[in-house]
Amino acid sequence: MVGNGSSPMRLTPAARVIILMGKTDPKTARHNQQSMVLIPIDTPRGEYYSQYPDHESPRS
């Protein structure tokens, strides 16, 4: 799965997990092309940003 960073994420202050959804195999049947990956918010080397910079958050 490859992400190009073009889709903004929406995080709330209470978020503990990010759900990453993406197309993983465009050559298979439609119902098998999609995958969801759960990423803990405290994953090392992760960079997270808010689409709403004025939104107050404990991480900002």
Q: What does the DSSP assignment read for 1-60?
A: ----S-SPP---TT--EEEEEEE--TTS-GGGSEEEEEEETT-TT-----S-TTS--TT-
- The answer, as to whether pTM is greater than 0.75, is no
- Rounded to whole angstroms, the Cα distance separating 40 from 56 reads 20
Query: In the prediction, which pLDDT does 2 show?
Result: 41
Give strand ranges (E) for the chain: 17-23, 34-40
Q: Which residue has the tokens 């978020």?
A: 15
Comparing 28 with 2, the larger pLDDT belongs to 28
Query: In the prediction, which pLDDT does 3 show?
Result: 47
Comparing 60 with 15, the larger pLDDT belongs to 15
Task: Give tens-digit pLDDT for 7-28.
Answer: 555 667 788 888 888 888 889 9
